Amino acid sequence: MKEQYVVALSGNPNVGKSTVFNALTGLKQHTGNWIGKTVECASGKYNYNGIQYNVIDLPGTYSLISHSTEEELARDYLIFNDIDVAVVVCDALCLERNLNLVLQIIEMNKNVVVVVNLLDEARKKKVKIDLEKLSKILGVEVIGTEARNGKGIDLILKGIERVINNKKDCYKIKYDFLEDVIKEISTELEKIDLKKIDSRWLSIRLIENEIGLINSVNEYLGCEIITDKISKLILKAHHILLDNDIIINEINDYFISKILIESENIASLTVSYNDKKYTEKTQKIDKVLTSKIAGIPLMVLLLFVIFWITLVGSSYPSDLLLKMFSFIGDKLYSLFEYVHIPNIIIDVLVNGIYKVLSWVVAVMLPPMAIFFPLFTILEDLGYLPRLAFNLDRYFKKCNACGKQGLTMCMGFGCNAVGVTGTRIIDSKRERLIAILTNNFVPCNGRFPTIIAMITMFLIGVKGNFSLFKVLVLIIVILVGVFFTFLVSKILSKTLLKGESSSFTLELPPYRKPQVFKVIIRSIFDKTLKVLIRAIVVAAPAGLLIFLLSNISIGGNTILKILSDFLDPFGRLIGLDGVIILAFILGFPANEIVIPIMIMCYMSTGSLVEINDLSVLKNLFINNGWNLNTAICVIIFTLFHFPCSTTCLTIKKETGSLKWTLFSIFLPTIIGVTLCFLVTCMFKFF
Partner 1 sequence: MEKLTLDKLNIGDTVLIKKINTQGDIRRRFFDIGLIEGTKVTCMLKNSDSSLLAYLVRGAVIAIRKEDLNSIIVEYVGGNL
Footprint of partner 1 (CB under 8 A): 62-63, 65, 67, 93-97, 100, 249, 253, 256-257, 260-261, 263-264, 276, 279-280, 282-283, 286-287, 290-292, 295-296, 389-390, 392-393, 396, 402, 426, 501-509
CB of 379 to partner 1, least distance (A): 18
- Nearest residue (CB) to partner 1, 25 versus 38: 38
Under 8 Å between Cβ of 322 and 612: yes
What's the rounded Cα separation, in Å, for the pair 39 and 155?
A: 27
DSSP per-residue string spanning 192-205: S--TT--HHHHHHH
Residue 292 or 462 with smaller CB distance to partner 1: 292
Residue ranges of alpha helices (H) inside 166-294 are 179-189, 199-208, 211-221, 228-243, 251-270, 277-289
Taking the complex as a whole, how short is the minimal distance between the CB of residue 261 and partner 1, in angstroms?
8
Closest contact distance (angstroms) between CB of 96 and partner 1 is 5
* Minimum gap (Å) between residue 67 Cβ and partner 1: 5
Instruction: Tell me the residue ranges of DSSP E strands in 379-498.
Output: none
Q: Which is nearer to partner 1, 108 or 518 (CB)?
A: 108
Neighbouring C-alpha atoms within 13 Å toward the C-beta of 25 = 22
Q: How remote is the C-alpha of 546 from its chain's centroid?
A: 37
CB of 436 to partner 1, least distance (A): 22
* Residue number with CB closer to partner 1 (265 or 626): 265
Shortest gap between Cβ of 320 and partner 1 (angstroms)? 45
Q: How far is the CB of 60 from partner 1 (least distance, A)?
A: 12
Nearer to partner 1 among residue 279 and residue 464 (C-beta): 279
Q: Which long-range contacts (CB under 8 A, 24 or more apart) does 155-159 make?
A: 156/20, 156/24, 156/87, 156/113, 156/115, 157/24, 157/46, 157/48, 159/113
**Comparison of 64 and 321: residue with beta carbon closer to partner 1:** 64
* Residue with smaller CB distance to partner 1, 256 or 584: 256
**To which H or E segment does residue 306 belong?**
helix 295-338
Q: How far apart are alpha carbons 684 and 153 in whole angstroms?
A: 68
User: Could you tell me which residues come within 8 angstroms of residue 475 by beta carbon, excluding any fewer than 6 positions away?
Assistant: none
In angstroms, what is the minimal distance from the CB of 97 to partner 1? 4
Give the ranges where 65-198 is alpha helix by DSSP (H): 69-80, 95-107, 119-124, 131-138, 153-165, 179-189
Of the pair 505, 678, the CB lying nearest partner 1 is at 505
Nearest residue to 436 via CA among 494, 479, 491: 491
CB of 256 to partner 1, least distance (A): 5
Alpha carbons 421 and 542: distance in angstroms, whole number: 33
Neighbours of 640 (CB within 10 A): 25
Q: Judged by CB, which is closer to partner 1: 165, or 504?
A: 504
Task: List, as one string, the DSSP characters of 26-54.
Answer: -------SSTT---S-EEEEEEETTEEEE
